[in-house]
Amino acid sequence: MSGLLRLALLLLVAAPVAAQPAADLVRVPADIGIWHNISLSDALIQDTTQQALNHLALALPLHRAGQLEGVAVGVFGTAYDQKVYGVQASGLANIAGEDAVAVQVAGLANVVGEQMTGIQASGLANIAGSRVAGVQVAGLANVVGEEGGGVQAAGLANIAGEQFAGIQASGFANIAGEEFRGIQSSGFANIAGEDAEGGQFTGFANIVGEDMLGVQAAGLANITGADLLGLQASLFNVVGETMRGAQVGLVNVAAESAGLQIGLVNAAGEQHGIPIGLYSRTGGVPVLLDAWSDETAALHIGVRSGSAVVSNYAGISTRPFADEALRWGVFAGLGVEQPINRRTAWGIDAFAHGLFAEDLGGSASLLVRLRAIVTHELGGRTALFGGPSLSLFLSEENDGESLAPFSIYETANADGTGGFVRIWPGLEAGLRIQITRN
């Protein structure tokens, strides 16, 4: 015997001894409805101010009554003006005018006027006017007018007018009008109007109106209106106030950064963390243009950006008087800088150079350099810098002999299976020019 049938029989047996219904309800344990206001209970109840309280109801095809404490099954739909306790199942729609503590299953839609506790499953939409505590599963959309807690899963969208705590999963968008705590996963966008705690994962954009505690991962953009404590991973990441954690993407922006920024371009109004990129802009920190030469007879021209402490470098190299094999190069670097006095500072930098032939043919060679430099301001916008370096050269086609005056370690590609490796110390010196204001 099925669970639903046992529940129905139990309700029928208990009906005579159950508590008396409210004054506007008349107990009709078993009911059959044909259409609106055409049912067994309508025939039995002469007082039009009263409605039926059902324990078991069958809609052929529609049925409407006052309250359900049991099971109602319909071909088209079942509707109760007041509360529902139990199960509603129909081909099109189920409606509870007030609260429902129930399971609603419909081919089209389930609607609860006030609070829903339990499960709603439909082919199109589930709607609760005030609150939900439970599970909503719909082919198109789930909507909660105020607060929600539990699971919302929809083919298109999940919407909570105020707060939601739990899981929202949809093919297009998840929206919480105020606070959200839990996980939002969608194909296009996740939105929390105020604070959010947990994770947002989407194909396009995640948006939090105020503070975010957790992880935002999107195909295009993550936006947090106020503070972030956690991780943003996307092509574009934006934090309106303080970022504590990490931003990983193509472009990272924060009003104040107290964490890690990894991207091609990083920007922060105040930088107390670590920016790593080709270009990192910090408010109050000028961008510098460096030009220097070294023992490889190369001229390097690069932009130094970053924070007052962390240096990011990007630029080009050329060896106009060298052999054709290693004539051009591009480089990126990362370093730290600390002041010695008002006009002098020391720093340690690491660079990776990609070296190419004059015609840009063949495979690139890799030159890795570690340097320690001292920088002294001359006044105005210029400074001199220089210091020792250590270079590591790796190549499949070139032995790098033209780069190094002498080597402290080298290997040759004698058997044709390996590459060329060369290590040597060196010196470099250059000029630094400030190209932006503080």
Kindly state whether residue 326 falls inside one of the protein's structural domains. yes
CATH of the domain at 338: 2.40.160
- What pLDDT, on the 0 to 100 scale, is given for residue 413? 65
- What pLDDT, on the 0 to 100 scale, is given for residue 28? 83
**162 and 301 co-located in one domain:** no
**172 and 23 co-located in one domain:** yes
Model pLDDT for residues 222-241, shown as the tens digit of each residue: 999 999 999 999 999 999 99
Kindly state whether residue 231 falls inside one of the protein's structural domains. no
Comparing C-alpha atoms, which of 61, 4, 56 is closest to residue 30?
Answer: 56
pTM: 0.86
Answer whether residue 255 shows pLDDT above 50: yes
Contacts 24+ apart (CB under 8 A), 396-405: 396/363, 396/365, 396/420, 397/325, 397/362, 397/363, 397/365, 398/325, 398/326, 398/365, 400/326, 400/365, 400/367, 402/322, 402/323, 402/325, 402/326, 403/296, 403/326, 403/367, 404/295, 404/296, 405/295
Kindly state whether residue 158 falls inside one of the protein's structural domains. yes
Answer whether residue 34 shows pLDDT above 90: no
Model pLDDT for residues 337-355, shown as the tens digit of each residue: 999 999 999 999 999 999 8
**319 and 398 co-located in one domain:** yes
Structural domain including 396 reads 288-434
- What pLDDT, on the 0 to 100 scale, is given for residue 98? 94
Buried b vs exposed e over 300-316: b needs ≥16 C-beta within 10 Å? Answer: bebebbbbebbbbbbbe
Kindly state whether residue 256 falls inside one of the protein's structural domains. no
Answer whether residue 264 shows pLDDT above 50: yes
Average pLDDT, integer, range 50-71: 90
Kindly state whether residue 386 falls inside one of the protein's structural domains. yes
Boundary-marking domain end, from 217, 242, 263 = 217
Query: How would residue 371 be classed by pLDDT, with cut points 50, 70 and 90?
Result: very high
- What pLDDT, on the 0 to 100 scale, is given for residue 27? 86
Answer whether residue 16 shows pLDDT above 60: no
DSSP class of residue 363 equals P
C-alpha 45/C-alpha 188 separation (Å) is: 52
**212 and 309 co-located in one domain:** no
What total of structural domains would you count in the chain? Answer: 2
Query: How would residue 397 be classed by pLDDT, with cut points 50, 70 and 90?
Result: confident
**15 and 159 co-located in one domain:** yes
Kindly state whether residue 276 falls inside one of the protein's structural domains. no
